[in-house]
Amino acid sequence: MNASEQITHLIGDLADWRGELLARLRKQILDAAPELVEDWKWDTPVWTHKGNVVAVGIFKDHVRLNFFKGASLPDPKKLFNAGLEAKTSRGIDLHKGESVNAAALKALVRAAVALKAGKK
């Protein structure tokens, strides 16, 4: 099974709000930066472009978007709410019933891709 198939399989296996949220996040991530490649690392979905850009971790009570270079990204809408003390990464934890500002998430994804590509 390739990485995209594994992510699709995970969405299907999560027969609750976490699967629905992962499906929405996946679409928003790929809509923001179609050049991203879906990967499967550490038993979790990861999107890459010239290196790791963003991953989604599935936990019992939340879903976490992890931006590998999040500490270097602008976050004017204050989406980052996890890992704020980490040297390089930043996360966005989402719990049941929560959603993320789609436009702000797309801006973060685009900024993360640009950073990996060496653009400002």
Give the domains, in start order, of the chain with CATH numbers: 3-116 (3.90.1150.200)
pLDDT, one tens digit per residue, over 82-118 is: 999 999 999 999 999 999 999 999 999 999 999 988 8
pLDDT at 29: 98
Torsion angle of C-alpha atoms 92, 49, 29, 76, degrees rounded to 10: 50
Please report, for residues 1, 36, 47, 99, 106, the alpha-carbon distance to residue 54 in angstroms, rounded to integers and kept in the order given.
Answer: 21, 10, 5, 17, 12
CB atoms under 10 Å from CB of 37, counted, come to 13
* Residue 20 pLDDT exceeds 90: yes
Reported as type and span, the H/E element at residue 66 is strand 63-67
> What is the arithmetic mean of pLDDT over 59-76?
97
Average pLDDT, rounded, for the chain: 96
- In angstroms, rounded to a whole number, what is the distance separating the alpha carbons of residues 38 and 56? 11
- In angstroms, rounded to a whole number, what is the distance separating the alpha carbons of residues 2 and 39? 8
